[in-house]
Amino acid sequence: MHRIYLVGFMGAGKSTVGRELSLILHRPLMDLDAEIEKAEGITVREIFARFGEPRFRQIEREHLKRISEASPAIVALGGGAWRVLVATRLRERRATLADKGAGARARAHRRTCKNALPRR
């Protein structure tokens, strides 16, 4: 298995579970939102505010494509990435994430997710 993709709502614990899996399986953790923020030089929230969701999803697809071609890793996807990518089926490659690795869904109670998010 090349990659493990973690999906779930914001604050469900994808990054937390990813860090633990990374230690157990001796694989690097790649957090998609963190990778985007590092490459773009601004936060995901700022990308949404300045450029809108369609542009963010385009950036997200580009980074996910790069990550999916990288070495074996644990990949924590952003809250909306799974929905968008399943809908588009990674058009360029006509493949789903399942073709490139295993997936795991992080589930958490709404209150848990809300408490994990930064206060506005």
pTM attached to this predicted model = 0.68
Per residue of the chain (120 residues), what is the pLDDT tens digit?
A: 578 888 887 788 888 899 999 999 999 999 999 999 999 999 999 999 999 999 998 999 889 888 877 778 898 987 777 766 565 554 544 454 555 555 556 666 667 666 666 665
* pLDDT for the residue 72: 86
Please state, in angstroms and rounded to a whole number, the distance separating the CA atoms of residues 32 and 100. Answer: 16
Token pair listed for 52? 């809108």
- What fold does the segment set 3-116 form as a domain? Rossmann fold (3.40.50)
Q: How far is CA 34 from the centre of its chain?
A: 9
